[in-house]
Each structure stands twice: as C-alpha cells, then as structure tokens.
Amino acid sequence: MPQIEDHPLRYELANELHARPFPTLEAPCTAVFLAIKAPHDAAKRDRAADLAHLTALLDRYGAPHPQPGATHYSGQIGKHMLKWESHTEMVTYTVFRDAVSERPFDPADFEVFPADWLAQAPGQRITSALIRVVPWESLENTCADIEHWFVSESVAVARVLDDAAVMAGDFRVDPAGHLRFSLHVAPSTGKRRVGRVVQRICEIETYKAMSMLGFARVRKMARMMGETDGHLSRLIDDMTAGTQPADETLQSLLRVSAELESLVAQSAFRFGATAAYEQIVHQRIGVLREERFEGRQTFSEFMMRRYDPAMRTVRATKDRLGTMADRAMRAGELLRTRVDVERSAQNQTLLESMDRRADLQLRLQRTVEGLSVVAISYYAVSLSGYLLYPLTEVLGVSKGMVTAAVTLPVVALVWWMVQRIRNKIH
C-alpha cells in the first residue's frame, strides 16, 4: 500500500525533543559540574575541538565515543555517570556520583576531571560547582548543615516542588574555585524529580554566569560611552552656536556616529545573549515553585536583589547606546540639511555671478560684432574701390564718388552676413 513520504528531518527533529533527558538520581549523591567557554567568539568556535576534548576524557576511562558531530552525550565513566552538552557559547560536563564525600564539598570530588585534561581544555572555565544531595533527616539537621556550609549573609534557601526538597546555595566561589549547592531530599521524592532539581541548579548557575558577561561588557564600555556622549553633546552645542564651520562639525559628527555604530555592532550579540540567558535563569527558578524556608531569602529574592540590578544595567546601557546613536544620526541629518542650505545659497550666489558675467559677455560680444562689421566693411569698401577705380575715367566720376556709392551697400551686406552667421550659431 503506498505510503506518504516523510520529510527527511522528521525523525531527527522529533528525537531532538528527547535527546537530553533529566538524570535519574537518588540521595545521597554528588553532582560535579563544569562549564567551559572559548575566550573569544565562542559562538563561532571549532566544535570539533570540544568533541575531541570530550573524547580524550572518555579515553581516560575506556568509555565509548560520541557520534560524529554530536551535541550531547551521556555515558558511564568508571563508577560515575557523565552528561555532556554543547551549547551556543559553551560546553558543560556534569558527573554524578552515587555517594557523598565524608567532608562536605570536598575538592577531591572535582578530581574526576584529571588536572592535565583540564589544562588542555579548548576554552576557559566560566563556572564550576559541587552539588551535595543528601536525604532529609530533620529540620534541625538541615538548618545546621546550611548554617555550616554556606555564608549566612548571602545564602538562598527554598523549599521546591511542593516540599520535595530544600535547595540551598550562596553563589560564592569557595577556596577550591567551585560554587556550592545542597539539596536535602524528602523521603517521598522520586529519582527523576531529584534529577530535575539538580539539572535546574546547574542551569541556573550556568546561565547566571553567562548573562553576567553582558554586565562585564557594559562596565568596560562605560568610560568610552561617557567620553563619546560628552563629545557628542559638545558637537551639538557647537552646531547650535555656530562656533565652527558646519562642514567641520559634520565630519566630527560622522566620526562619532561611526564609533557608536561600531559599538552597537560589537555589543549586539552580547546584549541579545544576555537577555536570553536572563530569561532562562528566571524561568528555571520559576518552575521550581519556591516556598520560603525558615525565613531565609529564596533564590528569586536573591536574584532580585543581586542579579537583577546588573541585568537592568545591561538593558539601560543598551538603550542608552541606541539613544546616543539616534541622537548622532538626527544631529547629522540636521547639520547635513544646514550644510545643504548653505551650499544652495552659495550656488545661488554663484549662479547670479555667472548671470552677470554672461550679460557682460553678451554685451562685449555685441560690441565686438559691431566693430567687426565696421572693420569688415572698411576692408570690403577698400577692395570694391580698387575694383571700380578703373571705371572712373569711363564714367567720368571721381574716385571719392565711387567710394561713396559702394559704401552703403557694402556695409549693409556685411551687416546682413554677420547677423546670419550669429543666427546659425544660436
């Protein structure tokens, strides 16, 4: 029976929705997280180098390789489970251990990534974290753990997913270079739900760190933007006061506009990425359905107080940069109009001068034509006299009479010929 033809990407696109399943975890366990980003133009990086680095890690543990061109991988490495994902600007490694170290957040947990392998990474660490997942024992024990493990001034704590667990973290880098998060899991919480919460913690930290790159970019731009804004204001004042020629002011405005457009072009991707990452951070926190724990600030409150101001600064800088570019463009258009008006006035003056010169030339031409008629007539009368002088004896008239007789007809003939020539030229 004939079948309808499938689109060549149908199965690939359908499977993509299921390509990154949440891990299945059971307390107690440990998650070791690492995110690596290329230092420059990370979105255009060589992704083959990321795969080669992953393959080198798998070879250390004798694990099977990913498929060519893979963007995600899950597999066993020794006693642990590895989850690897390739994102637009970074790659993430998450290793899950089915136990917790005796010492909470022991830096030795991170040794699952060999030091020499880390040194060969095709990029730099943007963040790393240790997540300690333990079973809920009692309210007192949980409060004591949080008080002992985290900095009280900045710790965020919340009950998540309808009391499925208590999540905590202070977003501070510990002496070993990692962030710390804990998860106290209720006895009734399923393995998949635990895995989802751990995955959300990794995503919140990753996208928070990536979005803060936009804030770092804005701080670097602040001085340049301040200088450019002051220069632009001075040019606009000069344009209003007319203290320097309009052409010079226009050239300066065009240079400022070019600088601003360059800043816009260089920052457009980072601003767009920052907005996307910020949205992901808030979305990931939102799906955890936080509830306050023992009067502590929640993760959403922590972000509102410490993270959101940085993101507002990024948005304000983006708006300010766009406003400056628009100001420069409008000022340039106004000044260009002024220059055009001045040039039109100069052109009008030049045309009037040309009209006067043309009128003088016309008068001079007519004068020359009159003189040419006289000169030509003089020579024509002289030639005619020489031709007619032999007839004076026959006719019995004097040479003066002959000259007088031919002068008027010759002058009239010369004048007619000159007029005809001029009419043909015009």
Q: What is the 3-state secondary structure (H, E, C) of 102-126?
A: CCCCCHHHHHHCCHHHHHCCCCEEE
Q: In angstroms, how far is the first alpha carbon of the chain from the final one?
A: 89
pLDDT in tens, 316-362: 998 888 888 887 777 767 667 666 666 676 777 777 777 777 777 77
Do 246 and 304 sit in the same domain of this protein?
A: yes
Q: Are 157 and 168 in contact (CB under 8 A)?
A: yes
Please tell me the least confidently modeled range out of 149-153, 159-163, 263-267: 263-267
* Encoded tokens for 292: 């306050």
pLDDT for the residue 16 = 67
Please identify, among 147, 163, 194, the residue that sits at the C-terminal boundary of a domain: 194
Query: Does 205 reside within a domain?
Result: no
Whether residue 102 sits in one domain with residue 27:
yes
List CB contacts of 146: < 8 A, sequence separation 6 or more. Answer: 155, 157, 168, 182, 296
Is the model's pLDDT at 315 over the cut of 70? yes
Residue 28: cis peptide before it, omega within 30 degrees of 0? yes
Question: Is 383 inside any structural domain?
Answer: yes
Same domain, 217 and 269: yes
> Residue 401's closest CA among 412, 389, 414, 413?
389
Residue (of 189, 206, 187, 207) closest to 197 by Cα position: 189
Q: Are 199 and 22 in contact (CB under 8 A)?
A: yes
Looking at residue 262, its pLDDT comes to 77
Q: Is the pLDDT of residue 243 over 80?
A: no
At 371 the pLDDT is 62
Same domain, 151 and 224: no
Residue 51 has a pLDDT of 94
Say whether both 159 and 220 belong to one domain. no
Q: Does residue 303 lie within any of the structural domains?
A: yes
Confidence of residue 373 (pLDDT cuts 50, 70, 90): low
Residues 73, 165, single domain; the answer is yes
For the chain, the domain total comes to 3
What is the SS3 assignment for 191? Answer: helix
The answer for residues whose C-beta is within 8 angstroms of residue 274's C-beta and 6 or more apart is 210, 211, 213, 214, 215, 311, 314
125 pairs with which residues across the strands? Answer: 36
Helix, strand or coil for residue 45? coil
In this structure, of 124-128, 175-179, 351-355, the range with the lowest mean pLDDT score is 351-355
- Structure-model confidence comparison of residues 186 and 364, the more confident one: 186
Kindly list the distances between the CA atom of residue 297 and the CA atoms of 200, 209, 282, 376, in Å, as whole numbers in the listed order: 18, 20, 16, 113
**Residue given tokens 């399943």 in the structure block:** 21
pTM here?
A: 0.76
Here the tokens at position 398 are 């004097």
pLDDT of 328 reads 75
Look at residue 104 in the predicted model and tell me its pLDDT.
93
- Are both 24 and 122 inside the same structural domain? yes
pLDDT higher than 80, residue 221: yes
| Tens of pLDDT, residues 380-414 | 667 666 666 666 666 666 666 766 666 777 667 76
Report whether pLDDT(1) > 60.
no
Judge whether 201 lies within some domain.
Answer: no
Both 224 and 254 in one domain: the answer is yes
Q: Check residue 125 and give its pLDDT.
A: 96
Whether residues 159 and 247 fall in one domain: no
Cα 319 from Cα 314, distance rounded (Å):
9
Residues 39 and 99 in one domain: yes
Domain hosting residue 293, numbered range: 211-341
- Asked whether 260 and 325 are in contact (CB, 8 A), the reply is yes
Verify that 391 and 336 share a domain, yes or no.
no
The burial of 72, by beta-carbon neighbours within 10 Å (0-12 exposed, 13-18 middle, 19 or more buried), is given as middle
Amino acid at 291: E
Query: 194, 227, 252: which is the final residue of a domain?
Result: 194
Last residue of a domain, one of 161, 194, 227: 194
d(CA 328, CA 325): 5
Is the same domain home to 310 and 417? Answer: no
Q: What are the structure tokens assigned to 103, written together? A: 């010492």
